[in-house]
């Protein structure tokens, strides 16, 4: 039953997507929530949470690109503009409390540039410019 419901939900969202252009929330549900869950809490340590720490990361310039260079982001079928909107939605929806003062939303241009560079080792980059996942 649950599988049928999910199938119908995803089908309905896909049709809405084609007909109207999807909202960032819908794109998050379609392309990210399979791993990060609809609530964004993920399943640590295998799939990280998207709450709170991403907002703090935004105080470090190099970490803006990181959000779209992790494989789940960079390899999504979403366009650069739609991916920028999803990442900004995640920041506003799950990280509003921790975003730095004067935070500038991620632009489509930044996403296009960041997506050209594949991170061989996302964790190494994360530790270099930010820090390891918290225990
Ligand atoms: C197939 C599962 C999967 C999907 C789908 C997925 N992710 Fe992820 N995501 C991960 C995993 C696993 C990590 C941990 C880093 C790594 O190993 O890639 C991660 C890490 C991240 C991080 C970094 C979190 C941190 O604290 O360092 C962000 C941001 C992120 N994902 C965003 C997204 C967005 C946006 C989408 C949808 C467009 C998405 N992910 C889709 C599995 C996924």
Residue pLDDT, tens place only, 75-132: 999 999 999 999 999 999 999 999 999 999 999 999 999 999 989 999 999 999 999 9
For residue 87, the ligand 1 atom closest to its alpha carbon is: 35
Q: Is residue 122 lining ligand 1, measured as CB closer than 6 Å?
A: yes
Which atom of ligand 1 sits closest to the CA of residue 76? 38
Most ligand 1 atoms within 8 A of CB, residue of 58, 72, 89, 115 to mutate: 72
Q: Is the CB of 70 under 6 A from ligand 1?
A: yes
20: pLDDT strictly greater than 80 = no
Domain of residue 43: give its range: 2-129
CB-based contacts of 89: which residues, under 8 Å, 6+ apart? Answer: 24, 25, 28
Residue 125 included in any domain = yes
59: in domain: yes
Q: At 86, which CATH number? A: 1.10.760.10
Residues 6+ apart with CB under 8 A from 70: 119, 122
Lowest mean pLDDT of 2-16, 57-71, 90-104, name the range. 2-16
Q: Give the HSE-up count for residue 108: Cα atoms under 13 Å, Cβ half-sphere.
A: 5
> Helix, strand or coil for residue 94?
helix
**Would you say residue 135 lies in a domain?**
no
Whether residue 70 lies inside any domain: the answer is: yes
DSSP 36-60: H-TTS--BTTTB---SSHHHHHTTS
Number of domains the chain contains: 1
Other Cβ atoms closer than 10 A to 18: 9
């Amino acid at each position: 039953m649950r599988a049928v419901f999910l199938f119908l939900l995803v089908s309905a969202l896909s049709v809405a997507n084609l007909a109207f252009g999807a909202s960032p929330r819908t794109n998050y549900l379609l392309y990210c929530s399979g791993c990060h869950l609809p609530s964004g809490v993920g399943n640590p340590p295998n799939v990280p949470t998207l709450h709170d720490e991403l907002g703090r990361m935004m105080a470090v310039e190099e970490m803006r690109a990181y959000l779209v260079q992790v494989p789940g982001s960079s390899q999504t079928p979403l366009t650069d503009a739609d991916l920028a909107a999803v990442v900004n939605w995640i920041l506003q929806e799950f990280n509003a409390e921790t975003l730095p003062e004067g935070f500038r939303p991620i632009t489509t241009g930044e996403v296009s540039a960041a997506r050209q560079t594949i991170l061989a080792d996302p964790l190494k980059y994360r530790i270099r410019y930010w820090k390891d996942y918290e225990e």
